[in-house]
A and B are shown apart, each in its own frame.
Chain A
Amino acid sequence: MAVISVHDIIKSYGHIRALKGVSFDVEEGEVFGVVGPDGAGKSTLFNILTTLLLPDSGTATVLGRDLFKEYLEIRKNIGYLPGTFSLYPDLTVEENLIFFATMYQSSIRENMSIIKPIWQQLMPFKKRPAGKLSGGMKQKLALCCALIHKPTLLFLDEPTTGVDPVSRKEFWEILGTIKTQGITVVVSTPYMDEATLCDRIALLQEGTFIRMDTPPNIISSFKGELVTLRTDDIFKLLRKMADCPLNCTFYPYGENLHVIFYDPIATILPQFEEFLQQNDIAYDNLMQISPTIEDCFIEIAGSTHP
């Protein structure tokens, strides 16, 4: 049975249409990722699913209950880590945890087993005001507070935004252990590399899901031929690429340029090299590579917006 079942959710803020009809199911025990750039509608979707916001139209059930009629029941069994740090900064780590445990009529002792690995890292700081923790520690505390009542469904809205790479990796490892406890996780992220860590992802752009599948399936359905190259003057290259007569999509990727071609690589690559030489562009490391989720996202987003 689906833990979450959403049907055609629409939400507007004045003239801005944040969600333009979103439908999906989340299965029990999976890590479901909502991936998309800033402003795609991720937080709006999370606020609706966590019973904080009412959509304009659409229906949804969460944990088998009607999202709009039985929201108080749903609240008992979900955990939510919002996109911005929302614990009491002037209460200590321990006071925050006790506070939220009590709000759920639970106690730290009762559910210590769930949060133990994270709580152990927080123990040295338990008398410190939550506002004075580092970014990574804040997120760990917020996660503890969201888990302390042993929810069966956990919502994490951009849990790793603004967190350093080491803590990000660590955070995802924690999510892995949460999953093993049978908790379904819905997580949003703007980082494409994190998307591959989910069981299933939905690519959200401008309020619509442009693709929803497992990461391997999304990667294997990549239709173009992906090529990467390096140059010292990426700006010049980008400028010249705008006049490239070949059928392609290009975008900077780290220090490199990625180009997606839609013709067989054997014929297109010599033409591309010729183009580069004609335009007097020095480059190296030109090669074909296999796509990442980010490449897939750009390909899909590009094809829906020609």
Chain B
Amino acid sequence: MRVILILIKKEFLQVFRNSLLWKILLIAPLAEFLLFPYTADYEIKNVHIAFVDHDHSRMTSDILSKFSASHYFINHGVVNSRNEAEEMMKGDEIDFIIEFPADFERSVVTQEPTKIGITANAINTVKAGLGSEYVQHVLADYLIGISENAQNPLQPQVAQLVTTNVYWFNEQMNYKNVIVPALLIILVTLIGAYITALNIVREKELGTIEQVNVTPIKKWQFLLGKMIPFWILGMAEFSIGLVIMKLVFGISIQGSLLLLLGLTAVYLLVMLGLGFFISSVSRNQLQAMFIVFFLFILFVMLSGTFTPVEGMPDWAEYLNYFNPMSFFMSAMKTVILKGSTVENIQDQFIALSVMAVILNTAALLSYRDKVK
């Protein structure tokens, strides 16, 4: 016990004496939280649009004014030709071209099939995707409006255009609700895997690990002496993150705080075990960093943190069974946003616990206090 305590004390002394490290530990979450949600704001404003109008009807000018009225769009008005519009898009002046065919109004009134051309500048895929949703919204709004006024309601063809997007648990489409919990997860992952792995490999580089190995200390004592301090640091970071989430972004935890902390505690164990394992197989900090970075990117990409899981192929979904971040992400989002209880997330709890046991066993077995 005394041995583990002195190991923990040593680790904290080193963290707090390493002025850069503990500043990073403190500043990183603040910087991440305060900047990132604004830069990764998926809500799109200022969508630049231009129209190519072959119809010049009352209906098209009505639609134009609808777009002008919306604060999401900046209307560049009607241009003379398709070519001119495309030039504008190439010059990055506009994001969308909306093209009305020659007999648009007549077709709508007589309920003949017609097409509105929507061309999106997909350099910024998020803007293109969300922007086209907005465009469809505005068009559908208008068409529903006229069909309600008209004698005979419009046929389903037009109604098909009406895409109703209802965002459950995130009604105002506020992406901060998604991004901020995601950032919390990234923070915890970084502390858990990165700092643990780099710390132990640094001891290898300095040779201090040999000096420790030559003492009669047991492997599990060494493991605990490394894991407890970083577990505490991780939990502290997570708590700071939660406070910022509430104070700055006004996101309240719908579910139980205790459940959230318990979930994080288990997840941190997974990450610490992973970090420890990576440090066992790496010879220097560079190697360790590359392995952690590679896994980290993989976890983030697959987990659906920043990209939708729906668009991924099936095999990616199966890979996610091995992705601790994916389990943590889904459990945490539901606890924070939906107020899920322990019954709702027991699958994730079990998955993470199993991973924690496997990775920490691997870490313990792979750690060599005696080299071949």
Do chains A and B stick together as partners? yes
A-side residues, CB < 8 A to B, are 47, 50-54, 71-73, 75-76, 78, 80, 82, 84-91, 95, 98-100, 102-105, 129, 145, 149
Q: Is the CB of B214 within 8 A of A52?
A: yes
Select one of A84, A90, A100 contacting B215, CB under 8 A. A100
Q: Is the CB of B14 within 8 A of A76?
A: no
Instruction: Please report which residues of chain B, range 190-245, place their CB below 8 angstroms from some CB of chain A when the two chains form the complex.
Output: 206-208, 210-218
On whether A88 and B215 interact (CB within 8 A), knowing A52-B370, A54-B371, A102-B3, the answer reads: no
Question: Could you say which residues of chain A place their CB within 8 Å of the CB of B58?
Answer: none
Please provide the 10 A-B residue pairs with the shortest distance between their CB atoms, ordered closest to farther.
Answer: A86-B207, A102-B6, A103-B215, A86-B211, A75-B216, A76-B216, A80-B214, A90-B17, A53-B371, A54-B372
Q: Is the CB of B2 within 8 A of A102?
A: yes
B-side residues, CB < 8 A to A, are 2-3, 6, 10, 13-14, 17-18, 206-208, 210-218, 369-372
A107 nearest CB across to chain B (Å): 10
CA distance A105 to B3 in the complex (A): 7
Q: Is the CB of B18 within 8 A of A90?
A: yes
Question: Could you say which residues of chain A place their CB within 8 Å of the CB of B10?
Answer: 88, 91, 95, 99
CA distance A102 to B10 in the complex (A): 11
What would 20 A/B residue contacts be, using CB atoms closer than 8 Å?
Answer: A52-B213, A52-B370, A72-B218, A73-B216, A78-B214, A80-B214, A84-B207, A88-B10, A88-B206, A90-B17, A91-B14, A102-B6, A103-B3, A103-B215, A103-B216, A103-B217, A104-B216, A105-B2, A129-B17, A149-B215
Q: Is the CB of B14 within 8 A of A51?
A: no
Question: Could you say which residues of chain B place their CB within 8 Å of the CB of A76?
Answer: 216
On whether A90 and B214 interact (CB within 8 A), knowing A52-B370, A102-B2, A102-B6, the answer reads: no
User: Closest A-chain residue to B209, C-beta based?
Assistant: A86
Q: Is the CB of A86 within 8 A of B206?
A: yes
Question: Could you say which residues of chain B place their CB within 8 Å of the CB of A87?
Answer: 208, 211
Q: Is the CB of A99 within 8 A of B6?
A: yes
Question: Could you say which residues of chain A place their CB within 8 Å of the CB of B217?
Answer: 103
Question: Could you say which residues of chain B place their CB within 8 Å of the CB of A71?
Answer: 370
Q: Is the CB of A103 within 8 A of B13?
A: no
Question: Could you say which residues of chain B place their CB within 8 Å of the CB of A75?
Answer: 214-216
User: Closest A-chain residue to B218, C-beta based?
Assistant: A72
On whether A82 and B370 interact (CB within 8 A), knowing A90-B14, A95-B13, A105-B2, the answer reads: no
CA distance A103 to B372 in the complex (A): 24
User: Closest A-chain residue to B213, C-beta based?
Assistant: A52
Q: Is the CB of A100 within 8 A of B211?
A: yes
Q: Is the CB of A51 within 8 A of B211?
A: no
On whether A103 and B208 interact (CB within 8 A), knowing A72-B216, A90-B18, the answer reads: no
CA distance A1 to B372 in the complex (A): 29
Question: Could you say which residues of chain A place their CB within 8 Å of the CB of B218?
Answer: 72
On whether A88 and B14 interact (CB within 8 A), knowing A100-B211, A102-B6, the answer reads: yes
CA distance A84 to B209 in the complex (A): 12
Select one of A52, A78, A82, A86 contacting B371, CB under 8 A. A52
On whether A51 and B210 interact (CB within 8 A), knowing A90-B17, A105-B3, the answer reads: no
Q: Is the CB of A104 within 8 A of B371?
A: no
CA distance A254 to B356 in the complex (A): 62
Q: Is the CB of B216 within 8 A of A52?
A: no
A245 nearest CB across to chain B (Å): 51
On whether A51 and B370 interact (CB within 8 A), knowing A86-B206, A103-B215, A104-B216, the answer reads: yes
Select one of A54, A82, A129 contacting B210, CB under 8 A. A82
CA distance A82 to B204 in the complex (A): 13
CA distance A85 to B10 in the complex (A): 18
A147 nearest CB across to chain B (Å): 13
Extra contacts, 18 of them, besides A82-B210, A103-B6 (Cβ < 8 A), are: A52-B210, A52-B370, A54-B371, A73-B216, A75-B214, A75-B215, A80-B211, A82-B207, A82-B211, A86-B210, A87-B208, A87-B211, A91-B13, A98-B6, A99-B6, A104-B215, A105-B2, A149-B215
Question: Could you say which residues of chain A place their CB within 8 Å of the CB of B370?
Answer: 51-54, 71
CA distance A54 to B210 in the complex (A): 14
Select one of A53, A80, A88 contacting B208, CB under 8 A. A88
CA distance A98 to B206 in the complex (A): 19
A88 nearest CB across to chain B (Å): 6
CA distance A266 to B329 in the complex (A): 91
User: Closest B-chain residue to A142, C-beta based?
Assistant: B211
CA distance A87 to B214 in the complex (A): 13
CA distance A90 to B3 in the complex (A): 19
CA distance A138 to B206 in the complex (A): 14
The winner among A72, A78, A90, A145 for most chain B CB atoms within 10 A is: A90
